[in-house]
Amino acid sequence: MKSKMKSAYKYLTLVGLILVLVGIFFFIEMFLSGNVSKKNEKKETHKLYKRLLLIKSARELESFFRDPINHKWWPLVADECLKKYHLSEKESYRLSCSGQILQCLYDFKKIKNKPLIIERMNGISYEVRLVTLNEKYLFDVLVPSNNESTDITHQAFGIKLALNQGEEKFDAMLENNCHEVFLDERYFAYGEKKADKNSEIYFDTIGKKYFIDVHLMTKADYNYWLRVKPHENLSMFTDHKYDFEPVTHLKLKQMQDLCSFYGKQIFRADLFDAATFIPFEMREKTSKNYERGSYYWVKKNSEAWIVKNPKEINEKNCKLIYGEECKSKFPQLKWGSEPTWAGLKEVMGGVFEYVYNPIDSKENLRASSFYFPLSSSWHKLGKRAFWDGEGHDSAHFNFGDGDQLPMVYKGKNLEVGFRCMREVSIK
């Protein structure tokens, strides 16, 4: 009996010891796992914080990209940026939604060796910088025609942000949708007003969504195109101070290809008239009043400075029509900068502008330009000449029964700009 009890006691002692050991092991495991859990939690918190900081930085950069002039970073880059791209203070709006404003910010931060954003958390500094994609470029050029898998509808810039010397990176896309305008849905007339109402052509944009580029296509637009799609007989502009000037040396097929690259098409003549003739009854979108003047800043010709006092050639008036006299007197203006009622700029004077004309293919050139004096009849809306699209020598142009090209330009290459537009289908 005693031996059985002894044996039972030994067994219980062994079981008790095992339970104690199990308990100690369980306690140690719980203690250790609690520490590991806290470490993991802290690690995940830092990881999430870093990600949120990169997103926050991308949003701050987008805010600057879209409206640099009203952003806190603008005073840091303004002087050098305007100087670099040959822009006046009044032209600074053109930097909105541009690759140039990103380059200006990057250059400033690099020279000063400063991050975009710096924050501290638990005694640790976190720095976010805008970094180059490679030795040559700061950003990718993304366009609808090359990105079928994405939902971008405009040209965009792909940029990269880096945290703490590349510890973590973040890709972002900044879309350039600042420089096009929507054409109102209403009734319009085509071309100059005719004495015979039966020969007038009317049309409407009701139920149609047209978006038009505010400016003529620029040398920067052209460079981005060649960067993505090199052409054997074309080369990029290397002097970036002219980035915002119109690209004017392309033939018609190349113009079409450039617009197509951006998911657009060449601007149409009838829509040019719609966006430049001021509607007489602006508030009534259903109005069929087709009265129109010859100048985009007034309804009636009698109100235009060029009719009232054609010899009053000053900077203010040259911003409306940049004619031959303006080029010699105010070369810093470069082009007419005042907007039409729809928001288009560079519509009178400056370089020629090619437009696709589905109504009359022999009238495809806005001839109002700095090639003609301000007294020329070409400085009127709806009045167009012809360009064959095959070359820029004066032999490729036909001015019909209008004022002929001044002899000084005969045999010389003439500059022809163009702008793009897109039509959004309504589903």
- Three-state helix/strand/coil letters over the chain: CHHHHHHHHHHHHHHHHHHHHHHHHHHHHHHHHHHHHHHHHHHHHHHHHHHHHHHHHHHHHHHHHHCHHHCCCHHHHHHHHHHHCCCCHHHHHHHCCCHHHHHHHHHHHHHHCCCCEEEEECCEEEEEEEECCCCCCCCEEECHHHCCCCCCCCCEEEEEEEECCCCEEEEEEEECCCCEEECCCCEEEECCCCCCHHHCEEEECCCCEEEEECCCCEHHHHHHHHHHCCCCCCCCCCCHHHCCCECCCCCHHHHHHHHHHCCCEECEHHHHHHHHCCCCCCCCCCCCCCCCCCCCCCCCHHHCHHHHCCCCCCHHHHCCCECHHHHHHCCCCCCCCCCCCCCCCCCCECCEEECECCCCCCCCEECCCCCCCCCCCCCCCCCEEEECCCCCEHHHEECCCCCCCCHHHCCCECCEECCEEEEECCC
User: pLDDT tens digits for 231-245?
Assistant: 989 999 999 989 999
Q: pLDDT at position 8, please?
A: 40
Highest mean pLDDT among 64-78, 104-118, 148-162, 166-180: 64-78
User: Can you read off the two tokens belonging to residue 371?
Assistant: 């090639």
Name the maximum alpha-carbon separation found in the chain.
136
User: Can you read off the two tokens belonging to residue 67?
Assistant: 């409206």
**Of the ranges 9-18, 72-81, 265-274, 356-365, which one carries the lowest mean pLDDT score?**
9-18
Q: Per-residue pLDDT averaged across 370-379, rounded?
A: 96
Say how far apart CA 25 and CA 22 lie, in whole Å: 5
**Confidence at 13, pLDDT banded by 50, 70, 90:** low
Q: pLDDT > 90: what percent of the chain?
A: 68
Is it the case that residue 5 has pLDDT exceeding 50? Answer: no
Place of tokens 């700029």: 345
Q: Per-residue pLDDT averaged across 132-137, rounded?
A: 85
Q: pLDDT at position 226, please?
A: 95
Backbone angles phi, psi at 12, to 5 degrees: -65, -40
Q: Per-residue pLDDT averaged across 33-56, rounded?
A: 72
**Confidence at 146, pLDDT banded by 50, 70, 90:** low
Q: Per-residue pLDDT averaged across 196-218, rounded?
A: 95
**Confidence at 46, pLDDT banded by 50, 70, 90:** confident
DSSP-derived pairing of the beta strands 352-354 and 416-417: parallel
CA distances from 105 to 112, 134, 157 (A): 11, 17, 14
User: pLDDT tens digits for 269-301?
Assistant: 999 999 999 999 999 989 999 999 999 999 999
| Second CATH level (architecture) for the domain 180-424 | Alpha-Beta Complex (3.90)
Q: pLDDT at position 84, please?
A: 94
Is it the case that residue 136 has pLDDT exceeding 60? Answer: yes
Q: For the chain, what are the domain ranges?
A: 2-175, 180-424
**Confidence at 41, pLDDT banded by 50, 70, 90:** low
> Residue 366's beta-bridge partner residues?
353, 384
| Residue 53 one-letter amino acid | L
Say how far apart CA 282 and CA 293 lie, in whole Å: 14
| Residue 217 one-letter amino acid | M
Q: Considering the entire predicted model, what is its pTM?
A: 0.86
Say how far apart CA 174 and CA 225 lie, in whole Å: 17
Q: Per-residue pLDDT averaged across 249-258, rounded?
A: 97
Average pLDDT of the chain, as a whole number? 88
User: Can you read off the two tokens belonging to residue 194?
Assistant: 């005719």
The vertex-250 CA angle with 181 and 385, nearest 5°, equals 75
Say how far apart CA 16 and CA 315 lie, in whole Å: 102
User: Can you read off the two tokens belonging to residue 5?
Assistant: 């009890």
Residue 335: Cβ-neighbour burial (10 angstroms; 0-12, 13-18, 19+)? buried
The vertex-172 CA angle with 169 and 173, nearest 5°, equals 160
C-beta separation of 162 from 168 below 8 A: yes
Is it the case that residue 70 has pLDDT exceeding 80? Answer: yes
**Confidence at 332, pLDDT banded by 50, 70, 90:** confident
**Confidence at 144, pLDDT banded by 50, 70, 90:** confident
Tell me which residue of 202, 201, 152 sits closest to 177, measured CA to CA: 152
Is it the case that residue 427 has pLDDT exceeding 50? Answer: yes
Tell me which residue of 266, 218, 250 sits closest to 99, measured CA to CA: 218
**Confidence at 31, pLDDT banded by 50, 70, 90:** very low
Tell me which residue of 165, 173, 262 sits closest to 218, measured CA to CA: 262
